[in-house]
Structure 1
Amino acid sequence: MMFIRNLVKVLGAGISVLSLTTLWSDREYLIGIHKIKYGVSRERNSVYNSTASYSKTVETKLQRIVQEQKLPSAPTQLPTRLSNNTAIHSCELQWNILNLNVTVYEADKVEAQTQKEPEQSYVPPLLYPDPEITLNRTSYLIPDLIWGPNNQLVGFMESVFVAIKLNRTLVIPSFLKHNTDKQFKRGSRNKISPLHRVDLVALCKYVSCVAVDQFQRACNFQIDGILNIRFMKPKDFAVIERDTGMKLNRDRESGEVLLIPKNGTSPSRLRLTFTERDITSLFTHEAKCVVYPFPFFDVMTEDKGSQHVLYSRLSSNAFQKQADVPPDVRLMASIFKHIPRPAYIRQIAADFIGFMTYGGRFMSSHWRYNEGDYLANWHCGNKEINQKRCDKARNYTSRVYAERLSSKAKALAKRNLEVNSVYIATPRTDLSFVRNTSRDLAEFTDSLKIYHSLHLEEFMKDRYKNCEFLTPHFEDIVSSVEMEICSRAVSFLGSLGTTWSGNVFKSRMQLKQQEHETSPDYIFRVK
C-alpha cells in the first residue's frame, strides 16, 4: 500500500514536509480502506480495531520522527492528492466534460415559453462537432423515457436507432430515478441528468446529438409532432409537455396534436411495433421537432419468419461483427458499444475492484427477487413464466444460493480461474438475504468473501467525499457502479427476466475480456 511505501521512504531516507503530508493523509485512508476490506459487521470489528491500533502505533513513530526533525506536528494545509489512493481537497472524478446545463435536465417542471421572435435560422451546436454518423441538423428527435433505469436505457438505444434511420439529430433527454430509490420523491418527476447514465462523449462522437436546452431554442419551445407508437391519452400529452418543457403545437381548428402516422394506434390497437424497414415508411415527416414517446421494446427484427425484440437479439456474434449478423442487429450492437456507462462510473468500479480483490479475480451475481417489486402481484401474475420465476425465487433459500456461488467458484477453479471474492448486487430491501448468504457460504468454502452495496457505499463515501455531485443521486449512481463491477467479473450469475441483468450480460459480450465468461448464466432457471 502507498502508506507502507511512504513509511519505508521516511525511515530509510529521512523525511520532508511533503512526504510527511502525503503519509499523514494515507494514514487516514488506511483505516477507511480496511473498514471496507473487512467490513463493519460485529464479527469483523476485531480486525478493524487491530488495523486502527496498528495505524496508531505507526502514527506514534511518525510523531517521534517529527519531533526529532523539528517538523510541524500536523500539516496545516494538505495539498491536492499526490498519489492515486484518494483525493484530499478536490474531487478526482470528472463528470460534466460537455458542460451540460444540469439544472434544465433535472428541474422537476420547466415552464414552456415561446420566444417573441422565433429564431427560424438557429441551428444548435452539436455536443461533439464531427460525429461518425452525421444526421440532419435541422430535424430533431427527442425520446421521452419511461419506467426503471435499465428500461430507460433500452428505450434510449432504440431512440438512437430510430433517429439514425430517420436522419434526425438526436436530442439527449433526461433520465428518471427508480421508484424504489430512497432518494425518490413522491409527486416529483425525479429527473436525473444523462451524465449519470451514459458516456455522452462516446455517444456524441458516434452520432449527431444536441442538448435539450438548445433543442428548445431551435424549436421555439414547441413540439411539432409525436411518433404514434402508443395510444395517447390527454394525460400522456401533459407528461410530454412537462418532461420536455415545451408546448405541443396543436391544430388551430381541431385542437389535435400531429401524430405520425395518424393511424398508427387506436383504442383497439394500443401499441405499434415496427422493424427497421418500416421506420422510414411509417415515420418520415417534414415536422421539425418530434417526440418519441415512452420507447421500450418497440423495434423488432425478423428471424425465421417471426418477429423478436431487436435489442434481445444482441449476442457475442453481433458485437464481433460476424458476417451472418443481420444489418439491423449489427447497427444496434454498434449503438450499444457507443453508449458505455459514464467514465467516472467506470473509474469508481475499477477503483473498488482493486481494493476488493487485491489484484485477484472475482465473480459477481445479481439477486433481484425482492418483495414489493419483482415479487409483487402485478409482476408475478401477468404471465405464466413470471409466476414460475416468482415461485422459484420465493423458495430459494440463502443456503441454496450460497451453495450455488460456491459450486460456481469451484467450477472456475477447475479452469484455473480461481476467485477470491464475489460481488452481489441486490436491491437494498434484500440486503438481509445477502448477509445470510454470506453467513451460509462458510459452510461450503472459506476462500470467498461476499461484498455488496453497503461495502461499495462506504468505499465511495470515504474515497470520493469531496465529489459533491454524487450526493443528490447517490443510490442511483451506486446501482450504475454495481452494473459496471458485474460487467468486469470473471463470471456473472444473473436474475431471470430483468433488464438489469440483461444489460450486464450484453456489456460482458461487448467487453469480451480475456478469460471472462460471456454466455448468460443465471442463479437458477425455470422451464
Structure 2
Amino acid sequence: MKYMRPILGGILFAATYFVLTTLDFIVCRHQMKSTITLPKSYERSKSPWIPTESSVGQSNLELDKCMDAEVDWTSTVKPKYELDRNKFLIPTLLGGPNNQMMGFHQSVLLSLILNRTLVIPVFYEHSIDNKFYLKAVPAEHRINIAKLRGLLSVITLREAVRLCRSRIDTIFADKYFNVGRKEIALLMRVYMQTGLSGVKLIDGVGDEEIRAISEYIYGEKGYTRNDSLRNRRWWPKSKWGKSWIYNIVDKDNQPNLPVHPQSAPSSKVSDARSNYASNAKCALHWFPFRQYGFPQSKITTSKASERVDLRHFTADDGWKLFSEVLLNTCAPEAVGVWSKKFQHTYLTAAGGNYLAFHWRYDTDDFMGYICKNGVRQEFCESVRQASNSSAIATAILSRISELDRRFKAKIESVYVAAPAALANFTLEIVGLFSNEDFARRTLPDDLPIPAIVTSTQLKGFVLREYRNCPLTIPKQLSDTISQLEMDICVDSYSFMWSRQSTWSGNVKQYRFLNNKAKTKTDTPNTDYVIRMMQSDQMRKEES
C-alpha cells in the first residue's frame, strides 16, 4: 500500500503540471516560423536520391546561434590517420539511433585497421514499427563530422558513388552472410539509399527508374518527376511493400559479389585483417553492430594523443583505437553547447549536483522487442515488477540520501529521461516529488527535496532558444532531444541506467571516458528499485 496511496495525488498533480508545461511548449511551437521546404536538389542529404528536409531563409546570425554543422568539404583537413584514398569502407547501419551509432563505431574502427578511407554513411530516423523504408537523417545531425575528419580520412557518400562508379565490389559481413531473398531486398534498399548497386536488374530498369521509385517511396506524398513509369508492371503497388523488388531483379544473372569472410567472422580485433583480406576498391560494411567488443575498463583518454602504428597493428592496439573512435564520433557541437546551457539553467543553478535517471522500458517499442517470444524472462519480469511510479520515486529519493551519506554529494535536482510513450508515467513521478509528505518518508529533513526535470522543460527550452535551427525542425526535434538527454546524463553526478538499453550503454561508455571516477556512483535502476521494494517489505514483516 505504501507505493499505491500517493499515486492518485501524484496523478492529479501530473495533470495540472501537464497542462501548464504543455501550454509553454505549444506557445513555443506556435512561434516557430515555417521555413522548411523540400530542397530542389538533394545536396543536404547524404544519399544521392533520398530527399530530406532542410532549413532555408536563415540569416548568418541565426545560423551562428544554431551552430549549424553543415560541413565545408572544400576545405583541406589533414587527419591524424591518413588512410588509403583508393580503397573505401561504406557502412550500412541498422536499428534505432543508438544501435546505428554502435555500428558506426565498428565501421570507423575497421576503416583504421584495414587502411580504408571511411565513407560517411546514411543515418536513419527512429522507428518503432519495423519499417523497411526509413527516412534519411543528415550525418551532421548525428555526429560532429569536423571532429571525425581530424581523426581519419573520410569522404562523402556522393563522392563514393562517383569514385566507385555506382558499384559495390565486395561485402564485409560481421556475421555469416548468404545472398538470399532477404539479402537481395536489403541490397536493393542500399541501392535506393546510397546509389551504390550490388544487384543486377532486368532490362529496362536502371538508375532513372530507381531514382523515380525512391522519390515515390521516400517522398511525403508519393512525389516523383517521372509519372509515366507508374504504369509499368513492376511499379510498387504501395509505398510500404517490397514485393516489387523481386520483380525487377534479374534472378538468373546476379553478379558474383564476393563476401568476406566466407564463414562466420572472428570477433577478435587481431583477426580483422585476415577476415577482410581484399583488394577490392569499394567494400560495403554489412550492418555492423557488436562484432568487436572492449571491456569498459580498457577505454581510456590517457593515450588518445598517441599515434597507433597501423602498419604493425596488434590486439593491444584495438582498445586504444576504439577509445579514439569514441572520442571522435561524438554528437554535433551544438548538442554539447545547448546541453550545458540547459544544465546551468535548470539543473545546477544553485551550484550543486544532479542525478540522472533513464527509464527505457516502454511497452510497445523496447519491451515488445526485448521480451518477445518469451526470451529474457527473468529480466522482463524484473522490469514489470519495478514499473511502479511510487516505487521508482522512492528509489530515486533513497539514492539521493545514499549519495549524501557515502559521497557527501548534495543533489539539488533530478533529470528523468524516458521515451515519449512514457510521458504520463514520467508525470506521475513528477507529481510524487511535489508531494512533500511522500518525499519526507524517504528523504531526511536536512536534505532539500530536489527539483525534478524532464523532456517537457528541455523541449520548451530548445524551442525558445533555438527555433528554426536545422537540429530543431519538426522531424529532427525528437532525435535532437534524445541526444541532449544523453549529454545531460553523461554530465550528471550519478546515473541510474537501464539494462539492455544501447542508449544507456552509450551514456555509460562516455561517462567512463570523460570521468572514470563518476561511474562509481552509477547503478542499474531496476536492480535498485527492486532492492528498495524488498527492503521495505522486510521492514513491514519485521514490524
Q: Which residue is 2:187 aligned to? A: 237
Q: Which residue is 1:478 aligned to? A: 481
Residue by residue over 1:469-500, the C-alpha shift from the partner in whole angstroms, topping out at 9 and shown as x without a partner, is 42131111110111011000001000011110
- Partner Cα distance (1:142, 1:97) in 2: 20
Q: Which residue is 2:254 aligned to? A: 255
Q: Which residue is 2:67 aligned to? A: 94
Q: Which residue is 1:411 aligned to? A: 402
Q: Which residue is 1:314 aligned to? A: 296
Shift of 1:186: 6.0
Would the alpha carbon gap of residues 231 and 296 (structure 1) be closer, same or farther in structure 2, given more than 3 Å must change? farther
Mean Cα displacement is larger for which, 410-419 or 227-236? 227-236
- Partner SS, residue 357 of structure 2: strand
Q: Which residue is 1:290 aligned to? A: 283
Q: Which residue is 2:115 aligned to? A: 167
Give the counterpart of 1:380 among 363, 366, 371.
Answer: 371
**Contact kept? 1:319, 1:509, Cα under 8 Å:** no
TM-score by length of 2: 0.68
Q: Which amino acid letter does the alignment assign opposite residue 500 of structure 1?
A: W
Superposed, 1:16-27 pairs within 5 Å as none
Shift of 1:507: 0.8
Residue by residue over 1:426-448, the C-alpha shift from the partner in whole angstroms, topping out at 9 and shown as x without a partner, is 00111111111122233125621
Give the counterpart of 2:424 among 418, 429, 432.
Answer: 432
Q: Which residue is 1:67 aligned to? A: none
Q: Which amino acid letter does the alignment assign opposite residue 297 of structure 2?
A: S
**Contact kept? 2:147, 2:329, Cα under 8 Å:** yes
Would the alpha carbon gap of residues 399 and 417 (structure 1) be closer, same or farther in structure 2, given more than 3 Å must change? same
Q: Which amino acid letter does the alignment assign opposite residue 411 of structure 1?
A: E
- Partner Cα distance (1:48, 1:154) in 2: 34
- Partner SS, residue 86 of structure 2: strand
Would the alpha carbon gap of residues 404 and 42 (structure 1) be closer, same or farther in structure 2, given more than 3 Å must change? same
Q: Does residue 1:42 correspond to 2:16, yes or no?
A: yes
Which residues of structure 1 form unaligned runs of 5+? 1-38, 50-79, 82-86, 101-124, 265-270, 300-309
- Partner SS, residue 395 of structure 1: helix
- Partner SS, residue 422 of structure 1: strand
- Partner SS, residue 464 of structure 2: helix
Q: Does residue 1:200 correspond to 2:145, yes or no?
A: yes
Q: Which residue is 1:11 aligned to? A: none
Residue by residue over 1:66-121, the C-alpha shift from the partner in whole angstroms, topping out at 9 and shown as x without a partner, is xxxxxxxxxxxxxx99xxxxx99665121324146xxxxxxxxxxxxxxxxxxxxx
Shift of 1:279: 1.4
Larger radius of gyration: 1
Q: Which residue is 1:369 aligned to? A: 361
Superposed, 1:77-88 pairs within 5 Å as none
Superposed, 1:444-459 pairs within 5 Å as 444=439, 445=443, 447-459=449-461
Q: Which amino acid letter does the alignment assign opposite residue 260 of structure 1?
A: V
Q: Which amino acid letter does the alignment assign opposite residue 245 of structure 1?
A: G
Q: Which residue is 2:40 aligned to? A: none
Would the alpha carbon gap of residues 381 and 334 (structure 1) be closer, same or farther in structure 2, given more than 3 Å must change? same
Q: Which amino acid letter does the alignment assign opposite residue 395 of structure 2?
A: R
Q: Which residue is 1:352 aligned to? A: 342
Q: Which residue is 1:134 aligned to? A: 82
- Partner SS, residue 248 of structure 1: coil
Shift of 1:213: 0.9
**Contact kept? 1:505, 1:518, Cα under 8 Å:** no
Q: Which amino acid letter does the alignment assign opposite residue 390 of structure 1?
A: C
Give the counterpart of 1:147 among 74, 95, 99.
Answer: 95
Q: Which residue is 1:220 aligned to? A: 165
- Partner SS, residue 320 of structure 2: helix
- Partner Cα distance (2:453, 2:19) in 1: 16
Residue by residue over 1:103-148, the C-alpha shift from the partner in whole angstroms, topping out at 9 and shown as x without a partner, is xxxxxxxxxxxxxxxxxxxxxx7x7521001100111001000011
Shift of 1:249: 6.9
**Contact kept? 1:423, 1:452, Cα under 8 Å:** yes
Q: Which amino acid letter does the alignment assign opposite residue 78 of structure 2?
A: D
- Partner Cα distance (1:356, 1:341) in 2: 21
Name the % identity. Answer: 24
Q: Which residue is 1:7 aligned to? A: none
**Contact kept? 2:356, 2:494, Cα under 8 Å:** yes
- Partner Cα distance (1:205, 1:263) in 2: 34
- Partner SS, residue 284 of structure 1: coil
- Partner Cα distance (2:423, 2:135) in 1: 24
Would the alpha carbon gap of residues 134 and 518 (structure 1) be closer, same or farther in structure 2, given more than 3 Å must change? farther
Shift of 1:257: 3.6
Tell me the C-alpha RMSD between the 2 structures. Answer: 3.4
- Partner Cα distance (2:171, 2:161) in 1: 15
Shift of 1:383: 6.9
Shift of 1:185: 11
- Partner Cα distance (1:356, 1:406) in 2: 19
Q: Structure with the greater relative contact order (CA < 8 A, sep ≥ 6): 1 or 2?
A: 2
Q: Which amino acid letter does the alignment assign opposite residue 407 of structure 1?
A: S
- Partner Cα distance (1:144, 1:245) in 2: 13
Would the alpha carbon gap of residues 387 and 135 (structure 1) be closer, same or farther in structure 2, given more than 3 Å must change? same
**Contact kept? 2:117, 2:153, Cα under 8 Å:** yes
Q: Which amino acid letter does the alignment assign opposite residue 372 of structure 1?
A: D
Q: Which residue is 1:72 aligned to? A: none
Count of aligned pairs: 405
- Partner Cα distance (1:328, 1:46) in 2: 51
Would the alpha carbon gap of residues 429 and 321 (structure 1) be closer, same or farther in structure 2, given more than 3 Å must change? same
Q: Which residue is 1:112 aligned to? A: none
Q: Which amino acid letter does the alignment assign opposite residue 94 of structure 1?
A: M
Shift of 1:236: 2.2
- Partner SS, residue 206 of structure 1: coil
- Partner Cα distance (1:46, 1:155) in 2: 40
Q: Which residue is 1:495 aligned to? A: 498
Q: Which residue is 1:179 aligned to? A: 127
